Structures are given as structure tokens and as C-alpha cells.
Amino acid sequence: MILDTGICTVFRETNIAPAGYKPTKAWTKIGRSWYKELAFSTTPAWPTEKREETQQDQRIRIHQMRTIRKEDRVVLADVDTMPDDGVTVYKIARAFHGTDDDTPALISDLSLVEVSP
């Protein structure tokens, strides 16, 4: 698959306070990659016992980044810092790390939920 939709940037919330001080959270860039938008469907979530309610606003495929975790943030733009206003920020709801069906390329498929930073 050709990843030609654009460039995305991935951020993680980290503690930047010195040791022994009250935690100070900041968004740290952990990666950047070309991405391709993937097809997805939206369906109503019917939460039941022992079932996690999941929302999906966007789905993308990137070159594999196994360091990505649920709750990391994605900006569908080439940025160096977490944007303050005007740019949509997504939370990773699910990350699949594997290979592309058509080629042996290593990929990560990310299910994203729109959030504010």
C-alpha cells in the first residue's frame, strides 16, 4: 500500500519535572510517518457488561512504529510541538502492528478518536 495521504506526527504525554518535584505533564513527539487514510464504518456503541465502548473518528495506516500505545495522540500534519488551536488532535483508541496484506511491508493501523489536547 502506498502511504500518500500526508504526514502525521505522534505524541506521548510525559513527565518533564525534575526528580522529586510535583509531576509536570507535557506532550513529547515520539514519531513522524507518512500515512494513508483507511476506510472505516461508524456504528452505535451499545455498552454491556464487560464490554468496552469504542468510538472511531478516523483510521490510518503508517509505517510500523511498535512504540505507539493506546492513549497516545496523533496530529495529521507535520508538526514539531502539540498544536494549541485550529488543528484536530486524535487519541489512539487501538493500534494494530503487523504486515500489509499485499506486500511484506511492516505497518501499524491506528483507530483514532477526535479529542482536544
Written as tens digits, the pLDDT of the chain (117 aa) is 788 899 999 999 999 999 999 999 999 999 999 999 998 766 555 666 666 666 778 899 999 999 999 999 999 999 999 988 888 999 999 999 999 888 889 999 999 999 975
Query: How far from 15 is each of 11, 48, 57, CA to CA, in Å?
Result: 13, 35, 28
Domain boundaries in the chain? 6-15+26-40+54-115
Q: How far apart, in whole angstroms, are the C-alpha atoms of residue 27 and residue 13?
A: 5
pTM for the full model? 0.82
In 16-105, DSSP assigns E strands to: 25-37, 58-63, 73-75, 89-99
